[in-house]
A and B are shown apart, each in its own frame.
Chain A
Amino acid sequence: MTVAIDRATGKRHGDRAPRPGLGQRLKHSYQKNWYAYAMITPVAVVLGVLVLYPLVYGLYLTLTDANSLNTARTIGVNHIDATYKFIGLDNYKDILFGPTAYDRFWSHFIWTIVWTALCVALHYTIGLGLALLLNQKLRGRTFYRLVLILPWAVPTFVTVFGWRFMLADGGIVNLALDALHLPSPDWLEDTFWQRFAAIMVNTWCGVPFMMISLLGGLQSIDASLYEAAEMDGATAWQRFRYVTLPGLRSVSSTVVLLGIIWTFNQFAVIFLLFGNTAPDAQILVTWAYYLGFGQQPRDFAQSAAYGILLLAILIVFTSFYRRWLNRNEQQLAI
């Protein structure tokens, strides 16, 4: 999942709206808009076909009881028609309030929130710390930087397997812990340690992006601000608090939003680390996948309903985040 955010939009509003007479304005706007619409057509068409249509179809499926036994399918030469029926909002009702809703939805929901918050907090603090260290004039800075982005350079699906070897029963991590006479937990079996391991691996994977983005932000802070602060007798902490952090605010608000969305949607780490063996360590995304594709019969309707709920959570969150940024008078992400 990828997201990019830009912040130039808000700024340019003022200088782009000339206000001549009405007729001229309409004509002008017609010419301009004709080109604009022609240029966005390809993307609009692609999004309509590849995103909007499946989304609407998925929304419809959540209102049915579709599963792999009653959807249209072809077995050999026989084509079996779909027999699922419309059941209204029952899926949502069942997911949110039905019997065992806590085990099926709310426990995963809470864990997803904890997972997102912890991971992003760790990504951000560790990333910021390393970025600050790398922002000094230091011997071997380039070398450190290159090594530190290694977890980003190697595809996640490769490194997760590396971690799986290391965390396996009898793997190197437990050998090392044993050698130090420390308890060696069952990383991949015990629920608490599964969650711990998932957060650890995801942190390992996600820090480099934060580090590099924040380093870019640090380097764009005007050095004269530090000079001025130093002149005024600011301590190192004060310089960090009143120059560095405000200077990083626009980068931070962007990368934190990205980090939250990515972590919330993080599929590969948990899916590859545990497969289907850890029902309690599944976040909502992997759990929805499990319902729809990891079990028999496949419960398409509920899986799609989870998807819609997830999307709703993200959209609500992002709207609030934007509003909150606006209130703090930041140049906004979008």
Chain B
Amino acid sequence: MSTTTVETSAATTGQSTAQADPGEARRRGERSRPASFASHGILIVASLIAFFPVAWLIYLSLGPDKDDYLHPGGIWAKMSFANYSFVLQHTEFFDWLKSSLIVSLGTTVIGVLIAATTGYAVSRMRFPGYRKFMWVLLVTQMFPVAVLMVPMYQILSDLQLIDSYLGLVLVYCSTAVPYCAWLLKGYFDTIPFEIDEAGRVDGLTPFGTFARLILPLARPGLAVAAFYSFLTAFGEVAFASTFMLSDTKYTFAVGLQTFVSEHDAQRNLMAATAVLIAIPVSAFFYLVQKNLVTGLTAGGTKG
């Protein structure tokens, strides 16, 4: 058996974008024609399931009336971008954009800056209390929202930080900082120790080694930590819904909920806003996903 089988079977299933390398003769992974059909069949069904809810949201966002989601057939005839222009012109969309960006970027910057040295320290040095410290870092990341929410609410009220960007950034930092430290430790572990040793031989202090040698090498790791903190802060619902009170300071996760209240459900506008949020975020995600995935599993996959 050789490539021919695979090529024909793939050709019959057709329309998928070509990416296989036809010249390569493979011995493993070669499959009979029915098996290949089955693989494609399952993957197509799975892709449809993955794709449909998002596609449906986009489709509904084109229907101009708020009850159009009940009569999806009718949307086809009267499709328009009216919802989009309404959302952009007459809602707080740009306020929400601003708050989302301030909060997410604030969290990202603080998280990565603070966590970097710690990630290096726990990657390279063993000090008394090391295991306890790592355990604290791990446990902090699995705090359920419920643990910190009540006390944080009380503390931030005392400090008059409820309904302020700073308050929310501080809350997010409680998870972002330990998380970034973990992630960066994983990345620093992949940088050979010999580099540190070379630096030390040449007379650099540990700080010097870190700042001049390791940090520049760790840029991809820093980027992953940054992306991940950003995406997490951007998508956080619980704290944002509770701590942000004025509607111009809502993040997207909160703002989107305001379209559906007990009295009124402007689902068409909600769908349009959802699409407007989803497009840049998913574009961003797709741009970085390769790094994101390797970064997340870096600790896990190296044996």
Quick check: B150 and A300 within 8 Å, CB to CB? yes
Q: Residue B186 at the A interface, CB < 8 A? A: yes
CA–CA, A255 to B47, complex, Å? 22
Contact of B237 among A36, A133, A272 (CB under 8 A): A272
Is A120's CB within 8 Å of the partner chain B? no
Taking a contact as CB atoms under 8 Å apart, the answer to whether A153 and B182 are in contact is: no
Contact partner of A251 (CB less than 8 A), chosen from B142, B148, B300, is B300
Contacts of A304 in B (CB 8 A): 146-147, 150-151
* Chain B, range 168-186, C-beta contacts under 8 Å to A: 170-171, 173-179, 181-183, 185-186
Total number of B residues with any Cβ neighbor in A under 8 Å: 120
Interface residue A165 (Cβ < 8 Å from any Cβ of B)? yes
CA distance A261 to B145 in the complex (A): 12
Listed residue (B31, B145, B146) with the most chain A CB atoms within 10 angstroms of its CB = B146
- The one of B50, B149, B205, B300 that contacts A151, using a Cβ cutoff of 8 Å: B50
Measured between beta carbons, the chain B residues less than 8 angstroms from A6 are 182, 185-186, 189, 299
Is B155 in contact with chain A by the CB < 8 A criterion? yes
Q: Is the interface of A mostly helix, strand, loop or mixed?
A: helix
Q: Within 8 Å CB of A22, what residues of B? A: none
CA separation between A172 and B75, bound complex, in Å?
A: 13
**A300-324: contact bitstring with B at CB < 8 Å (1 yes, 0 no)?**
1001101110110011001000000
A136 touches B29 (CB 8 A): yes
> Could you tell me the distance between the alpha carbons of A155 and B115 in the complex, rounded to whole angstroms?
25
Nearest CB of chain B from residue A199's CB, rounded to whole Å:
15
Provide the bound-state CA to CA distance between A162 and B142, in Å: 28
A207 → chain B closest CB, angstroms: 8
Check A141 for interface membership: any CB of B closer than 8 A.
Answer: yes
Task: State in angstroms the CA–CA spacing of A33 and B133 once bound together.
Answer: 14
Chain B residues closer than 8 Å to A310, beta-carbon distance? 144, 146-147
Shortest Cβ distance from B282 into chain A, in angstroms? 4
In the complex, what distance in Å separates the CA atom of A167 from the CA atom of B171? 33
B141 touches A4 (CB 8 A): yes
Cβ of B227 to closest chain A Cβ, rounded Å: 12
In whole angstroms, how far apart are the Cα atoms of A9 and B119 in the complex? 13
Give the complex CA separation of A311 and B299 in angstroms: 25
User: Could you list some 10 contacts between A and B, CB below 8 A?
Assistant: A4-B182, A4-B183, A36-B121, A57-B154, A138-B36, A139-B13, A140-B18, A265-B142, A284-B144, A315-B139
The 6 closest A-B pairs by CB, nearest first: A140-B16, A6-B299, A307-B146, A39-B121, A139-B10, A288-B146
